[in-house]
A and B are shown apart, each in its own frame.
Chain A
Amino acid sequence: MALTKQDVLHVAKLANLTLTPKEVEIYAEQLSSVVESFDELSKVDTTDTRPTSQVTGLIDIWREDVLQPVRTLTQEEALSGTEKTHNGNFVVEYVFADAD
């Protein structure tokens, strides 16, 4: 199934990516040829087949709900990857845009 330029722009929006017009054109073509190759999969009879999302059969791995300093970053360490901090916190984009 071919992807139109609108499809590419829609997917890019969902993925929070910004594309140039040239990129939209290239990706429409490249992604279409990859997605068309997936059509092969519809030939496999998967009636009564359960989907696999993990392969080693582990279920419900628990650990005690206790704070272990050895597995916790200090505030300073957690903030060490960015210069955009304020009063010991990360500075983030507005979630709700100002009405003005």
Chain B
Amino acid sequence: MTLPRSIVELHDLLKNKEVTAVSLVDAYLARISSLNESLNAFNTVTDDYAYAKAKQVDETIANNPNAFEEFPLLGVIVSLKDLYLTKGIRTTASSNLLKDYVPAYSATVVDRLEKAGAIIIGKTNCDAWAHGASGENSDFGPTKNPWNTEYVPGGSSSGSAVAVAADLSLISMGTDTGGSIRQPAGFTSVVGFKPTYGAVPRYGVIAMASSLDSMGHFTHTVDDAERVFSITRGPDGRDSTVKEVEVTGSVKEKLTIGIPKEYFSEGLDPEVEKIVREAIAFYESQGNTIVEVSLPHTKYGVAAYYIIQPAEVSSNLGRYDGVRYGNDRTHFGAEAKRRIMLGTYVLSSGYYDAYYHQAMKVRTKMCKDFEAVFSEVDAIIAPVSPTPAFKIGQKSSDPLQMYLADVYTVAANLAGLPAIALPGGFSSNGLPIGFQLIAKQFDEAVLFQLGKEYQANTHWHTKTPFL
């Protein structure tokens, strides 16, 4: 069976009775079973659960003439980063501390996907507790890049990116706290969408840094990213940081796109720069206006982020004491301990003002930089990561070098902005390279319009790794 690459394609196959939901589950499970040993993308495969749901989906299609209108994600095979709580299905955060934890409730996003007709096929590997940018911090072993298994797929949502890139699920949910959706999307040639902070409920997703965490997803197409967002977004009465925002959906036909000069400075790999410049040239050729802009506090972003984020991590991981669920604190891995201690340090007496308080003020400066720029432009275009994927083991002994590579992604989290990473081409040695678009808060419609314009005229998102 040729697996669908979009929800529209999938629904055509189901409507024309070329496939059934059960046969789709067969096909995806067969692919997972042949590839997961080498890619290590899944922690848990939920085959029985998926078959039960698939049977319901096939009955719905047979009996309900409005099935596809009532259930916009009907038959969509979805995998979930193993941070999303799933009632009755093991949820580990890819950590030994939670390796046997079975939640008593599901995340809001999971409930919404299932109500919309999606079929959960499994829980994906990630850096433990979402701490990392390579997948190597998983307590269950690293996920491999399907384009070259000697390379990292990026992280922390490594298994989710790989599940979509290698067609082990049609879509996948990830989390983005400092780039954890966009960076692995760029490294594996899929679309990675990070919504505005507070657009999608965080309820039931294991928290990393609560003022930064965004619930987003991986797809092949921008159209699918928009469809999934229309299901996951909006208040749930549980996460009180979710903001009710009217979706306009209407965007002017031609837009103004800013190139932040600070994102094209030293440290940017020439092959990455070339691909971002090609995307800029594409947008200009379509009649959009391109202007240079400045985000002067960009270079302070990583330092501010690696103070605020570990501070919130140290607080959020304080609850894991092994009393109510999970194992005790001796089960934390090296990176979790590193971040808990870093966060505890910057919050501790004597250092709070110099580090944490100053970082929160720099965060204000960065928000103001974006406010000024978005008074002139509709979107910003930038690289996702300074380099393409690196080799497994290349950076794992030097945490600071790993942190510094987050320079282009953390700003959108610190300012709560929506962003989308798109496949934009390949390096000379065949590794994917992406670029990202960033918009102002709750202006996701701009990202979807620009993303669709790009994909309608380019073919990068149709490329598949040879496996």
Chain A residues with a Cβ under 8 A of chain B: 3, 7-8, 11-12, 14-19, 23, 27, 30-31, 33-35, 37-38, 40-42, 44, 46, 49-56, 58, 61, 63, 71, 73, 77-78, 80-82, 84, 90-93
Contact B399–A30 (Cβ < 8 Å): yes
Cα distance, A14 to B241, chains bound together (Å): 29
Q: If the complex has contacts A23-B337, A31-B338, A55-B197, are A16 and B363 also in contact, measured as CB distance less than 8 A?
A: no
Contact with A along B274-302 (1 / 0, CB 8 A): 00000000000000000000000101101
- Say which residue of B102, B103, B104, B342 sits within 8 Å of A34 (CB atoms): B342
Q: Given A16-B318, A50-B361, A93-B323, 19 more contacts at CB 8 Å?
A: A14-B344, A14-B348, A15-B318, A15-B340, A17-B341, A18-B329, A31-B342, A35-B355, A41-B355, A44-B358, A44-B365, A55-B198, A56-B196, A56-B198, A58-B240, A77-B105, A81-B326, A82-B323, A90-B324
26 pairs, A vs B, C-beta closer than 8 Å = A11-B341, A11-B344, A11-B348, A12-B341, A15-B341, A31-B338, A31-B342, A33-B400, A34-B399, A34-B403, A35-B346, A37-B306, A38-B303, A38-B307, A41-B300, A41-B304, A44-B358, A49-B361, A50-B364, A51-B363, A51-B364, A56-B197, A58-B240, A71-B238, A81-B102, A81-B324
How far, in Å, is B334 (CB) from chain A's closest CB?
A: 8
Q: Which residues of A contact B359 (CB under 8 A)?
A: 38, 41
How close is A65's CB to chain B, nearest CB, in angstroms? 14
**CA gap between A44 and B369 in the complex, in Å:** 13
Indicate whether A55 sits within 8 Å of B104 (C-beta atoms), given known contacts A44-B297, A44-B365, A49-B361: no
With a cutoff of 8 Å between Cβ atoms, the chain B residues found around residue A56 in the complex are: 196-198, 241, 243, 416, 441
Q: Which of A8, A38, A93 contacts B341 (CB 8 A)?
A: A8
B353 to chain A, nearest CB (A): 11
**Distance, CA A93 to CA B329, complexed state (A):** 14
Q: Does B360 contact A (CB under 8 A)?
A: yes
Closest to A13 in B: B344
Q: Which of B402-422 contact A (CB under 8 A)?
A: 403-404, 414-416
- Contact partner of B104 (CB less than 8 A), chosen from A3, A38, A78, is A78
Interface assignment of B101: CB less than 8 Å from any CB of chain A: yes
Q: What is the count of residue pairs linking A and B with beta-carbon distances less than 8 angstroms?
A: 151
Out of B196, B302, B321, B325, name the residue touching A81 (CB < 8 Å). B325
For residues 90 through 148 of chain B, which have their beta carbon under 8 Å from a beta carbon of chain A? 101-105
Q: B324 near A15 (CB under 8 angstroms)?
A: no
Mask for B211-249, Cβ within 8 A of A = 1, else 0?
100000000000000000000000001101101000000
User: What's the Cα separation between A7 and B104 when bound, in Å?
Assistant: 39
Contact of A17 among B302, B340, B362 (CB under 8 A): B340
Whether A18 pairs with B330 at a CB distance below 8 angstroms is: yes
| Category for how many chain B residues contact A | 35 or more
Cα–Cα distance between A55 and B348 once the two chains are bound (Å): 24
Judge if B357 is at the interface, Cβ distance under 8 Å.
yes
Is B263 interfacial (CB-CB < 8 Å)?
A: no
Interface string of B313-351 (1 = CB under 8 A from A): 010001001011110011010100110111011101000
A56 to chain B, nearest CB (A): 5
Judge whether B467 is part of the interface by a CB distance below 8 angstroms: no
Q: Which residues of B contact A58 (CB under 8 A)?
A: 198, 240-241, 243
**Nearest 6 CB-CB pairs, A to B?**
A81-B325, A51-B360, A55-B416, A46-B361, A77-B104, A61-B240
Partner of B329, one of A17, A42, A46, A90: A17
CB B347 to nearest CB in A, in angstroms, measures 9
| B367 on interface, CB distance cutoff 8 Å | yes
Q: Are B241 and A54 in contact (CB under 8 A)?
A: yes
Checking A42, A53, A80 against B354 with a beta-carbon cut-off of 8 angstroms, the contacting residue is A42
- Chain B residues within 8 Å of A38, by CB: 303, 306-307, 346, 355, 359
Q: Are B211 and A73 in contact (CB under 8 A)?
A: no
Q: How far is the CA of A3 from the CA of B346 in the complex (A)?
A: 12
The distance in angstroms between the C-alpha atoms of A58 and B235, with both chains bound, is 13
**Residue pair B104, A81 in contact (C-beta under 8 Å):** yes
Docked CA distance A83–B221 (Å): 45
Q: What is the bound-complex CA distance between A84 and B324, given in angstroms?
A: 8
Nearest Cβ on chain A to B359's Cβ, whole angstroms: 6
Chain B contacts of A84 at CB under 8 A?
Answer: 323
- Given the complex of chains A and B, what is the CA–CA distance between A84 and B323 in angstroms? 8
Are A53 and B211 in touch, CB under 8 angstroms? yes
Contact, CB under 8 Å: B337 / A27? yes
B443 CB, nearest partner CB in chain A, Å: 13
CB neighbours (8 Å) of A73 from chain B are 104-105
Q: How far is the CB of A31 from chain B (nearest CB, A)?
A: 6
